[in-house]
Each structure stands twice: as structure tokens, then as C-alpha cells.
Amino acid sequence: MVFPKNQRILAQLGENIKLACKRRNYSQTLISERTGLSRLTIRKIEQGDPKVSIGHYVAVLSVLGLVEDFAKVASDDELGRKLQDIKLMGKQKGKKP
């Protein structure tokens, strides 16, 4: 099950992919040929369909030369660092000078 907020994010991803294709003048047929995916799957990716494998999204991003963007996801984990800092600060309080 995909929550509505996450569905909107996938829809935005699909739209971004569709725009990237249009900017490069890449048709769904061309993307299909280069990825080995069906045109139906390409259409679903452009719509942000959550049922499409993440690997298929990566394949399309690779054809577009944008796969490196995918590697940036969660690389700047601000919340994780804050939680880690809180935990580290708590350990320091327990130490005696």
C-alpha cells in the first residue's frame, strides 16, 4: 500500500522522468528499446506507478544519464545525524571529567 503523500512523490518522479525524456527528444519507444522494458512499463514509470520495480526506474534513469541522481537519495540524512548527535551527547553526559 502506498500512502497518498508517497504516491504524490512517485507521481512527481514520473513527471520528472517524462520531462527529461521530452527534453532529450526520447520517445517511449526509444526508451523501451534501450531498456528492454515494454512501452506500457515506460508509460507507467512516467505516471509514477508504485507497482513498477525500482530496478525499472533505475534502468530508465540510466538511459537518461540520470542514474547518479538516484545514488544521492538519503545521502544527506539530516534526521539520522541529529538522532546520532543526541545519542552521542547523552553518552558524554554520563562520563566524569
**Domains of the chain: residue spans and CATH:** 4-94 (1.10.260.40)
Give the pLDDT band (50/70/90) at residue 96.
Answer: low
Q: How many residues does the chain have?
A: 97
| pLDDT digit string, tens, across residues 34-92 | 999 999 999 999 999 999 999 999 999 999 999 998 888 888 888 988 898 888 888 76
Q: What share of the chain is helix, strand, coil (3-state, %, to 5)?
A: 70, 0, 30
Q: Do the beta carbons of residue 71 and residue 58 sit within 8 Å?
A: no
Q: Do the beta carbons of residue 20 and residue 13 sit within 8 Å?
A: no
3-state secondary structure 60-87: HHHHCCCHHHHHCCCCCCHHHHHHHHHH
